[in-house]
Amino acid sequence: MATVLEFKDLSRPIHSGKLLIRESGSINARQILAVKGPSGSGKSTLLRMLARIVSVQSGDVYWQGRHWQSIAPGTWRRNIHYVSQKPIMFEGTGEDNIRLPFTLAELKENIGYSSELCQEYMKELELPSGLLQQNAQTLSGGEAARLALIRALLIEPKVLLLDEPTAYLDGSTRSKLINLISSWVKDKPERAIIIVSHNDEDLNRLNDVFVLHMNNIMDGVQKNG
Instruction: Give the predicted TM-score (pTM) of the model.
Output: 0.92
Nearest to 101, CA basis, from 123, 74, 126 = 74
Parse the chain into domains and list their residue ranges. 3-224
The bridge status of strand 19-28 relative to strand 3-14 is: antiparallel
CATH no. for 3-224? 3.40.50.300
Over residues 52-102, the pLDDT tens digits come to 999 999 999 999 999 999 999 999 999 999 999 988 899 999 999 999 998
Over residues 132-166, the pLDDT tens digits come to 999 999 999 999 999 999 999 999 999 999 999 99
Over residues 179-209, the pLDDT tens digits come to 999 999 999 989 999 999 988 899 988 988 9
> What residues does 66 pair with on adjacent strands?
63
